[in-house]
Amino acid sequence: MKKWKWTNLYLIFVFVMLYVPIIYLIAYSFSEGERMSGFHGFTLAHYAELFADTRMIQIVVDTLMLALLSSLIATIVGTLGALAISRTVRPLVKNTVLSLNNILMVSPDVIIGASFLIFFTALKIPLGFGSVLMSHIAFSIPIVVLMVLPKLQEMQQSMLDAARDLGSTNSQTLARVVLPFITPGILSGFFMAFTYSLDDFAVTFFVTGNGFQTLAVEIYARARQGISLEINALSGVMFIFALLLVIGYYFIQQGSQSRKAKHRKESEAIIHEAAH
């Protein structure tokens, strides 16, 4: 019992370490004054300032739109990719494609940013929203593939055979059997792609021109100029948003797990009945 307590203490220490900076940041968003030192009394002025800052609001909206659009497209392409990989029979081709898939996962952001910058310049694609969108789609696709692929491998061949035996066409099998089964994987992939996009700074920093800003790039520019408690207020808002996203993600995962459990129960019940 004693040991159990001691170990919990270490975990709590790690959590305190992880959360202190975030709490510090948000706490000062309510402080009067202009600096992150010596709490000067409660105010909501920085939040008022934030919501009156139309440029900042526009950037937040742009960032969210970008994340939504890029993760949506990445999810579609990534799911198709996962379907393609799962259909590949030859192991050499499969492994090569998987290795290529993972290159962008392990590449440092700077390399992705720099090489995409060369790529867009070579093709004379203007830097701005378009180039940023394409980059975000590109670096989000592999994670979608990695989230969907295990679901496809989990799927039993007998289900597909059953669908075919019952006379369904390929597209019917895909729409009615395969897609519903892999939906949890697709949703996880979408969520991961969405966070990748929201979280990215380095790649965007390389491929965005002067016309288009994301939140991360804007924060970088402002942070280099020094502290402004408006950014703290923004952190408060972003934290709530992240919290909601995490809760959403948690429920999606729980949902897929309980569905799995339900399936298991159902099949157990069927077996049970058959036995009787």
Instruction: Fill in the amino acid letter for 173.
Output: T
Q: How far apart are CA 157 and CA 209, in angstroms?
A: 49
Contacting residue, 2, 5, 124, 224, with another protein by CB under 8 A: 224
Q: Which of 1, 5, 18, 274 binds another protein (CB under 8 A)?
A: 18
Q: Which of 32, 161, 199, 268 binds another protein (CB under 8 A)?
A: 199
Among residue numbers 159 through 198, which ones bind another protein (CB under 8 A)?
Answer: 170-171, 195, 198
Q: Is 128 left (phi over 0), alpha (psi -120 to 50) or beta?
A: left
> Contacts with another protein in 230-269 (CB under 8 A)?
231, 234-235, 238-239, 242-243, 245-246, 250
Residue with Cβ nearer another protein (45 or 227): 227
Which of 66, 117, 143, 147 binds another protein (CB under 8 A)? It is 117
Structure tokens at 224: 């280099």
For residues 253 and 190, give the distance between their C-alpha atoms in angstroms, rounded to a whole number: 13
Query: Which residues is 92 bridged to in the sheet?
Result: none
Q: Tell me which of 146, 147, 219, 233 binds another protein, using CB under 8 A.
A: 219
Identify the burial level of 154 via C-beta atoms within 10 angstroms of its C-beta, where 0-12 means exposed, 13-18 middle and 19 or more buried.
exposed
- Residue 36 interacts with another protein (CB under 8 A)? yes
Which of 69, 97, 152, 155 touches another protein by CB under 8 A? Answer: 97
CA pair distance 41, 229, nearest whole angstrom: 14
Distance CA 275, CA 268 (A): 10
Closest approach of Cβ 59 to another protein, in Å?
Answer: 12
Under rule CB under 8 A, residue 148 binds another protein: no
